Amino acid sequence: MSQRSLSVIAPTYNESENISPFIERAKDVLGQFDWEIIFVDDNSPDGTAEKAFHLSRADQRIRSITRLNDRGLAKSSIQGMLSARGELLCVMDVDGQHDPVVINEMAERLEREDLHIVSAARRLEGNQDLKGLSPVRQKLSTFGNWLCGLVLGRKLTDPLTGFFVIRRDSFLQTAPRLGDPGFKLLLDILHSNKTLRHAEVPFEFGARRNGQSKLDVYVIWKFFTYLLSKLTGGVLPDSLISFLLVGGTGIFVHLAVLYSILWLVPFAVAQTAATLIAATGNFLLNNLLTFRDRRLKSWAKFWGYLKFIGISAVGIVANVSAATLTYERLVHVVFVATLAGIAIDTVWKFVIANKFIWK
């Protein structure tokens, strides 16, 4: 009887020191499978892709994929899964926090209970501290789990784990519905295909061997806007939600500037200055967060900013005109007048941002 085939998909970025120990550990525990390991690297500057490639020349069960564009943890995992030949697909990290021995337990439970997907959960035995997570990340994980429960409509112990096994046919059925949750592919799979039979198994979340965590502000932001989009039933795309949240921070900047200089200059002048300053802040934040995958750099960023201000001129004029009209003719309240102008400006900027700035 032939062995069951299994593909381990390991998305990597700056993990050159962790690849060899990971391969040796996997070889020790995956003997029951006809296995392969696919490293999907986001063009790491530390030579991770090159090292994986050289290792693949010595063992054909090891494969290497390098992504130059449209990078990201979820997207890299999806590409690796689509490229895999195994009947079972396992997504995991190579930094030592995910132990390959758990793959056997997940696969056995998947077969025994005729499930579609089994994930490795970090919290099935209480709220003990996890040595692989800092206190801040533990709090973020707890809050994220609560939000995930709202999105999924059911409570899971650890919907944010990046360690799971899924049947290849189940993944291919689900793949066309997947979006880009940033770094939590399991949640997107379970939300996109709620007919999947799923279970969790506990595992000890280890400490990272080498390198640094890839969790940063952008990843958290991307995940948060993804969840908010799902809570709206997908009516509001995550890019629009991100743009609106960035615009919300612009409101505070706008009001702070406006009230600071209103006693020095007429309202129309103060409103214009506040609008331009807030627009500059919005451009920088949107370039960093909302349109990170299309972000502008160096001179492109400079010209993009000029283009943003230039094309937004209509929105700025509409902002100032609407706010001034509201203030002078309708409601003589600075706050209400300002919000009226910002609302028109924000809608206009989002449209032009997608069409002309971050194309």
Together in a domain, 271 and 351: yes
- Specify which residues 62 forms β-bridges with: 37
The count of domains in the chain is 2
pLDDT of amino acid 125 = 47
Amino acid at 22: F
Together in a domain, 198 and 279: no
Together in a domain, 92 and 144: yes
pLDDT of amino acid 262 = 87
Is the entire prediction scored with pTM above 0.85? no
Together in a domain, 27 and 50: yes
| CA 42 – CA 111 distance, rounded (Å) | 33
Q: Which of 173, 199, 231 is the C-terminal boundary of a domain? A: 231
Q: Is 12 exposed, middle or buried (0-12, 13-18, 19+ CB in 10 A)?
A: buried
- Residue-number span of the structural domain to which 60 is assigned: 4-231
Answer with the residue of higher pLDDT: 2 or 309. 309
At 63, the pLDDT band (50, 70, 90 cuts) reads very high
Mean pLDDT (the chain) is 83
The helix (H) or strand (E) run that includes residue 297 is none
Together in a domain, 194 and 253: no
Q: Which of 215, 231, 247 is the C-terminal boundary of a domain? A: 231
pLDDT of amino acid 340 = 61
Together in a domain, 341 and 255: yes
CATH number at residue 123: 3.90.550.10
Q: Which of 231, 263, 298 is the C-terminal boundary of a domain? A: 231
Residue 117 confidence (pLDDT) above 90: yes
Together in a domain, 123 and 266: no
Together in a domain, 36 and 104: yes
Is the distance from CB of 305 to CB of 345 less than 8 angstroms?
A: no
Residues 220-229: b if buried by 16+ CB within 10 A, e if exposed: ebbbbbbbbb
Together in a domain, 49 and 180: yes
SS3 304: helix
Q: pLDDT tens digit string along 9-28?
A: 999 999 999 999 999 999 99
For residue 226, give both structure tokens: 């993804």
Together in a domain, 227 and 262: no
Which percentage of the chain shows pLDDT scores above 90?
36
Together in a domain, 105 and 84: yes
Together in a domain, 195 and 112: yes
Q: pLDDT tens digit string along 136-188?
A: 566 666 777 777 777 787 888 888 888 999 999 999 999 998 876 556 789 89
Q: Please, which residues have CB within 8 angstroms of residue 185's CB and are 6 or more apart in sequence?
A: 73, 74, 77, 78, 91, 162, 178
